[in-house]
Amino acid sequence: MAILKIARMGHPVLRKPAEPVENPTSPEVRALVKDMIATMIDANGAGLAAPQIHESKRVVIFQAPASRMTPGVDEDEAYDHQAELTVLINPEIEVLGPETEEGWEGCLSVPGMRGLVPRYTHIRYRGVGLDGEPIERVARGFHARVVQHECDHLDGILYPQRMADLSKLIFETEAVHWVAPARGEDEER
């Protein structure tokens, strides 16, 4: 198990579609996933896609625990407790309704930044696990957001490309200027 370097916005591996995994149960895929988990935990991430560690494979890992939500930023978004640590290989997403919701997102490949990103609120995702068995779940809220964010990486898409308004791409250190007015409070300086 190794902690790997995370590709940052601008690296070519993040801009191209990832290759399907032919054998999800192979020792190589198992080793890749172990490294992804170690890297995600070390970086304090909620998810990681293989292209983010310079591997152009259709593999994502994610978790959506309540502790990952940013106070004052994410708390209005519904939380789904079904999103334990999940390994999803060759994932597909099916949108289950036209409703979208904006939410603040960050990314290990876009460090120090947050953006207000619209995402579908209700999805179904499918793929296979490390054991080769099918995984299929319905997700809402933060769970759905994390899955969409990570799967975007497999198609060469970073969250700023999904933003409707780039004036809402901010440094994390400046989030207080967005949160306080939304709560009706004075901004802290």
Name the residues annotated as catalytic.
150
Distance between CA 106 and CA 171 in Å, rounded? Answer: 10
CA dihedral 122, 36, 42, 69 (to 10 degrees): 0
63 close to 84: Cβ distance less than 8 angstroms: yes
* Token pair belonging to 25: 């149960």
- Cα distances (Å, whole numbers) of residue 81 to 60, 119, 174: 19, 18, 29
Burial of 36: CB neighbours in 10 Å, binned 0-12, 13-18, 19+:
buried
